[in-house]
Amino acid sequence: MRRGRASHFPDDAQLLEQTRSVRARFAEASGSVLRATLVERSRTGRQPITRRLQAVRAKEGGWREFLAAHAYLRGWAVTTHSIRRFPPRPALFDLAILDEASQCSIPAVVPVLFRAKRALIIGDPMQLTHVTTMTANTEAECRTRAGIGAEWLEQRRLAYRRHSAFRAFDEAADHTLLLDEHFRCHPAIAEISNRMFYGSQLTVLTDVSRLRRIDEKPVTWQPILGVAQRPPGGSWSNKEEAQHVAKLVRRLIEYLPPEATIGVVTPFRAQQELISGMCKGTNARIGTVHTFQGGECDVMVLSVVGGRNMSGSGLRWLQGELNLWNVAISRARSHLIIVGDLEFWRGRSGVVGTLADMADTDDGASPARTSPSTADGGRPAADTLHRRLEETRPPVEFRRDAVRDGYSCDFLLDPSSEPVALLMDYGHGEKDPARHLRLQLELCDRLAGTDVHRASRVPAWRALWDPDKVLHESRH
């Protein structure tokens, strides 16, 4: 009975179209309401709003003008430094939204929170934190004067030099929500950060068909035998790497689409200055990792600098940094090109060592026809399809657990002619069923945007109930 009812449900293409249509209508309706509200409030509050603008242009305090305009304008954009221009009145705003809170120090957000009834904290704990010039000794003196112990601050993630505002709120909040859908990077690039820094909790939904790219792998390592140097009191540089990067930038400009953007990122200011001098006249953006936080480019060239002449604190710092390398990696949309001494970094601890160890791995695709022994992988529905494919006459060429342009599928049928990707749906488990279905539909759509002929979602119950029908529908 349930199988009969299921046959009358909308198919996946219809469901995806309906979902996108509803979201588009919701966004349009929300925008219409916002615009109508702004027009009405701007009309009725025209005089106080005008006086507020005049006060801002005259660089006056304007608190009286602000309070008069505040009655008509509900949303205000402000930095943590310019919040002082608003009256120091508690609960001035119903809600304060702190974006990029991982880059904010704890003291910097206190004036914002004082003026709000509630707060929404948004940030990424794996991004770079705020930059401070305060020394450990100065921080210890401040703790002593305040009578607060280091352990007490550490337990609450309130230590100024070590913790961002996001860390402090993450420790104190009753509930946190992971924004786990990623749309920026090619899946092969995003998977590096996903696995190394986010516990494989992200769902990558980047539309690879829209990426500006060249006919190369998304992630490559170009080995350069360079010498890391550091003058007394200065930062590290690597001339051989810089020369290679400059040549690479000019080749990329020649082969990339004209509208594509190129970035060069490095951990050290001295290397950034060296590369900038060699790349004069190009449109490449060159900077340290800190200057790239929040930015992105179609192609990112990463100069790691460290090499055989580096040891001691410099090498330990490169090996110990996590957030810095995460930012450097995740700035790339289409291509991440790592330039460095591959043999030096292989087998070493830290992110760069892991990237070096991964440098020679393939795309993870299994052979065209897997051996029968792999049809017992603890996934009964997929194993059933696998056995049917092995038994099909004439033989069907297929791959199990294949990867197509960064996106994984459980089966790839006819991979050498008109490939058909099958994505098994094992159910929502403890997750929200509607969201689970939406993500499955989106992943199939992303697979279809690669070089496959067609992509289909296969509910596990259908593969167990009638695998022959599933394969017939998938192929025909």
Query: pLDDT, tens digit, for every residue of 164-191?
Result: 999 999 999 888 899 999 999 999 999 9
Among the listed ranges 166-170, 218-222, 413-417, which one has the minimum average pLDDT value? Answer: 413-417
Q: For the domain covering 212-358, report its CATH number.
A: 3.40.50.300
What is the arithmetic mean of pLDDT over 288-297? Answer: 92
The pLDDT of residue 399 is: 94
Q: What is the architecture of the domain spanning 372-475?
A: 3-Layer(aba) Sandwich (3.40)
- Six-digit token string for 275: 């590369």
**What are the Cα distances from residue 28, in Å, to 23, 73, 326?**
9, 21, 35
What is the arithmetic mean of pLDDT over 287-307? Answer: 94
Query: Is residue 221 within a helix (H) or strand (E), and if so which, with residue range?
Result: strand 219-223
pTM over 0.85: yes
Interatomic CA distance for residues 100 and 124, integer angstroms: 7
Domain ranges, ordered by start, for the chain = 21-75, 92-177, 212-358, 372-475
Residue 383 half-sphere exposure, CB side, CA atoms within 13 Å?
9
Is 372 a residue whose pLDDT tops 80?
Answer: no
Identify which has the larger pLDDT, 244 or 84.
Answer: 244
What is the arithmetic mean of pLDDT over 109-118? Answer: 96
The runs of H, that is alpha helices, within 58-100 are 63-70
What is the arithmetic mean of pLDDT over 418-434? Answer: 93
Beta strands (DSSP E) in 259-376 are 262-266, 285-288, 297-303, 332-340
Q: List pLDDT tens digits, range 56-85.
A: 888 876 788 899 999 999 899 999 998 988
Do 372-475 and 212-358 fall under one CATH topology? no
